[in-house]
Amino acid sequence: RIFIIWAISSWFRRGPAPQEQSSTGGTPRAPSRNLFPKDTLMDLYVYISEHEHFTDFNLSSALFWQKRDLVYGDWTSGENADGCYEHYGDVDISQSVQQNGSIYIHVYFTKSGFHPDPRQKNLYRRLATVHTSRSMAPRGGWYGGTGWCWGKGHPNSHLTMGARALRAEDYGPVEVISHWHPNLTINMVDDHTPWVKGSVPPPLDQYVKFDAISGDYYPILYFNDYWNLQKDYFPINETLQRLPFRLSFCPLSLWRWQLYAAQSTKSPWNFLGEDLYEQSDEEQDSVKVALLETNPYLLALTIVVSIVHSIFEFLAFKNDIQFWNSRQSLEGLSVRSVFFGVFQSLVVLLYILDNETNFVVQVSVFIGLLIDLWKITKVMDVRLDRENKVAGVFPRVTFKDKSTYIESSTKVYDDMAFRYLSWILFPLLGCYAVYSLLYLEHKGWYSWVLSMLYGFLLTFGFITMTPQLFINYKLKSVAHLPWRMLTYKALNTFIDDLFAFVIKMPMMYRIGCLRD
- pLDDT, averaged per 10 consecutive residues of the chain (516 residues), comes to 51 46 57 92 96 92 95 93 94 91 95 94 94 84 46 43 41 71 95 89 87 92 90 89 95 91 61 48 73 77 80 83 79 78 88 77 85 85 80 80 71 81 83 85 83 78 68 72 75 69 58 55
Nearest-5° Cα angle at 449, 445 to 450: 120
* Separation CA 511–CA 500 (nearest Å): 8
* Separation CA 174–CA 146 (nearest Å): 11
Number of neighbouring beta carbons within 10 Å of residue 100 = 15
In sequence order, which ranges of 55-197 are alpha helices (DSSP H)?
95-98, 162-165, 168-171
Q: What's 196's DSSP letter?
A: -
Peptide linkage before 31 cis (omega within 30 of 0): no
131: closest CA among 109, 154, 156? 109
Nearest-5° Cα angle at 363, 512 to 324: 80
In sequence order, which ranges of 161-295 are alpha helices (DSSP H)?
162-165, 168-171, 254-263, 274-277, 281-293
Where do the structural domains in the chain lie, given as residue ranges?
2-136+179-253, 327-481
For the range 373-380, what are the long-range contacts, defined as Cβ-Cβ under 8 Å and sequence gap of 24 or more? 373/342, 374/321, 374/324, 375/324, 375/338, 375/341, 375/342, 376/338, 376/339, 376/342, 378/324, 378/325, 378/327, 379/324, 379/330, 379/333, 379/335, 379/338, 379/405, 380/335
pLDDT number for residue 344: 86
pLDDT number for residue 160: 39
pLDDT number for residue 362: 82
Beta strands in 13-55 (DSSP E): 41-49
Phi and psi dihedrals of 380, rounded to 5? -135, 155
Across 365-382, b (16+ Cβ under 10 Å) vs e yields beebbebbeebbebbbee
Q: For the residues of 272-328, what is the DSSP string, one character each?
A: G-HHHHSPPHHHHHHHHHHHHHS-HHHHHHHHHHHHHHHHHHHHHHHHHHHHHHH--
* Separation CA 372–CA 251 (nearest Å): 55
Q: How many residues does the chain have?
A: 516
Across 390-419, b (16+ Cβ under 10 Å) vs e yields eeeeeeeeeeeebeebeebebbebbeebbe
209: closest CA among 222, 221, 218? 218
Distance (Å) of CA 390 to CA 343, 373, 401: 22, 21, 22
* Class of residue 484 by CB neighbours under 10 A (exposed 0-12, middle 13-18, buried 19+): middle
In sequence order, which ranges of 440-477 are alpha helices (DSSP H)?
445-460, 466-475
* Separation CA 278–CA 265 (nearest Å): 11
pLDDT number for residue 464: 65
pLDDT number for residue 63: 95
**Contact in structure between 455 and 508 (CB atoms under 8 Å):** yes
